Amino acid sequence: MNPEDTAGNGSLSPRQSQFVIALLTAPTIAHACKAAGVPERTAFKWLADPIFVDAYRGAKRDALGHATGRLAVLADAAVATLQAILVDVTAPAAVRLAAAKVVLDAALKVADLDDTQARIAALEQAAEGPRLLHHAGWSGSGGAVRIGGRRSPGGAVSGRRDRCPAQPDPAGHGRGAARAP
């Protein structure tokens, strides 16, 4: 990489920063190169550089965060509009039906997202559990922790398990059994 390519401290040069902005606004890399005045060969070198890629990803995250914030502000107005259409008896039935479909679809997506987040939290908690026990000085030998089940001869807990269906079974039994790589 040329000395002019980076500022020398792990950050981007002004030329690279211009190219990042062009990448965010142009439809293709070729268009971004033209807009920033960067040769394509140089652009592809930069796109292979982890420092540049991290900066570009950070800029994309920032841009998306800004857009998401703007959407959140507009969401309240959109919901109010849908509500007004739904309760307006003078609105055509097809329009009210379309508004109702949008509301129901959104409600189902929110419920699905809520369920997914709960399952992820349960998986994270289950994955963290053994580490927490280990760090607290508990050992797995000599006694299994029971969670609504009975201890099997090998020390594993059998019976009812408090876990998500998609959670790997650490003992290697049943559906979703974890396998060693």
The pLDDT tens digits for 38-94 are 999 999 999 999 999 999 999 999 999 999 999 888 989 999 999 999 999 999 999
Q: Is residue 156 within 8 Å of residue 144, measured between CB atoms?
A: yes
Q: What is the pLDDT of residue 23?
A: 96
Element (H, E) at 161: none
Cα–Cα distance, 29 to 1 (Å, whole number): 19
Cα–Cα distance, 61 to 45 (Å, whole number): 22
Q: What is the DSSP letter of 171?
A: T
pLDDT digits (tens, 9 = 90+) for 90-146: 999 999 999 999 999 999 999 999 999 999 999 998 888 766 555 555 555 444 444
pLDDT > 50? residue 4: no
Burial of 103 per CB tally in 10 Å (0-12, 13-18, 19+): middle
Residues contacting 65, CB < 8 A, separation 6+: none
Residues contacting 26, CB < 8 A, separation 6+: 32, 34, 35
Cα–Cα distance, 156 to 161 (Å, whole number): 11
- Distance between alpha carbon 111 and the CA centroid of its chain, in Å? 17
Element (H, E) at 157: strand 157-159
pLDDT > 90? residue 20: yes
Q: What is the pLDDT of residue 130?
A: 64
